[in-house]
Amino acid sequence: MERPVTGARDRIDTSTAHSARVYDYILGGKDHYLVDAEAGDAMCRHWPALPVHMKENRRFMHRAGRYLARERGVRQFLDIGAGLPTPPNLHEVVQEVAPEAHVVYVDNDPIVLAHARALLNSSPEGATAYVDADMLDPDAILGSPEFRALLDLGEPVGLMIIGILHFIPEPDDRHLVRRLLDPLPPGSYLAMTIGTADFAPEEVGRVAEEYAQQNMPMVLRDLPTATSFFDGMELVEPGVTQVHKWRPGPEQDGIDDAAIAMYGAVARKL
């Protein structure tokens, strides 16, 4: 299932930095503009560990998706704030385990829409779709034809909210997460990463100031606040922890805690 990308590039604002494009630049991608590179360079001057932090945030998504597909039998996923396609994308990870898996990607950045076909290269047995919508408008996501066509709400869904919550202010953050969880059946899972300044407060604080100057204000949360997003759910071990410590593999060996400014967790809806 494909969504037309006609006119997507006409909507791209190249005069201001965008979080998805800054992320792409810092990770060594090619889908960004000079304004994004300048913002990314400024952030890395404030905190040279930022590329490590961003890579580990994405690796958490890979491990969480693989865990849900392999160990919990989840066969359908809703990925909020999908970002620019950077292999392996979520569908590539979960369809390696379960080729029949369905993945619905959601983002509101026109440059992501322009590259959405890379997110639609599903296995023959499975399916993927892209929804051009904003997390701030959950009804547009839940009411989209793609959501209704690909996700069976009689079966568990893996809701992935990765690397986006720190751009959602209070009190909208809790309402939006719950609004996306509410229609999902019991036995569904929430995998989420949550920005924090607990481990490198000065450096991460300066990065947050740089984001704010680029009209991308951030909300950084401590551990009790991050944990409270999973209230009423059953946390998967090891609970809420820095993303590089959640079921780590060899790639996480030797990573300094001060290089990671993101909590991550996976929890089951009861």
Q: Which H, E and C letters describe the chain, residue by residue?
A: CCCCCCCCHHHCCCCCCCHHHHHHHHCCCCCCCHHHHHHHHHHHHHCCCHHHHHHHHHHHHHHHHHHHHHHCCCCEEEEECCCCCCCCCHHHHHHHHCCCCEEEEEECCHHHHHCHHHHCCCCCCCEEEEEECCCCCHHHHHCCHHHHHHCCCCCCCEEEECCCHHHCCCCHHHHHHHHHHCCCCCCCEEEEEEECCCCCHHHHHHHHHHHHHCCCCCCCCCHHHHHHCCCCEEECCCCCEEHHHCCCCHHHCCCCHHHCCEEEEEEEEC
Contact criterion met (CB below 8 Å) for 27 and 51:
yes
At 19-29, the pLDDT tens digits run 888 888 888 88
Segment 114-127, tens digit of pLDDT: 877 777 889 999 99
For residue 6, pLDDT over 60 is answered with: no
What is the tens place of the pLDDT at every residue in 92-116? 999 999 999 999 999 988 888 887 7
Whether 115 is covered by a domain: the verdict is yes
* pTM for the structure as a whole: 0.92
Residue whose pair of structure tokens reads 């990314």 in the numeric block: 40
34 in a structural domain = yes
pLDDT given for residue 4 in this prediction: 35
- pLDDT category of residue 143 using cuts at 50, 70 and 90: very high
Q: Is the pLDDT of residue 9 over 80?
A: no
Cβ 176 vs Cβ 136: under 8 Å:
yes
Question: Are 46 and 203 spatial neighbours (Cβ–Cβ below 8 Å)?
Answer: yes
Residue 207 lies in a domain: yes
Across the range 126-145, mean pLDDT stands at 95
Whole-number pLDDT of residue 254? 95
Range of the domain at 26: 12-269
Range ranked top by mean pLDDT from 10-24, 167-181, 231-245: 231-245
| pLDDT at 22 (0 to 100) | 86
Residue 50 lies in a domain: yes
Residue 131 falls inside a structural domain: yes
Number of domains present in the structure of the chain: 1
In a domain, 170, yes or no: yes
Asked whether residue 3 is domain-assigned, the answer is no
Mean pLDDT value across residues 3-27: 69
Q: Is residue 83 part of a domain?
A: yes
| Across 16-39, average pLDDT | 86
Q: Report the share of the chain in percent with pLDDT over 90.
A: 74
Which domain CATH number covers 112? 3.40.50.150
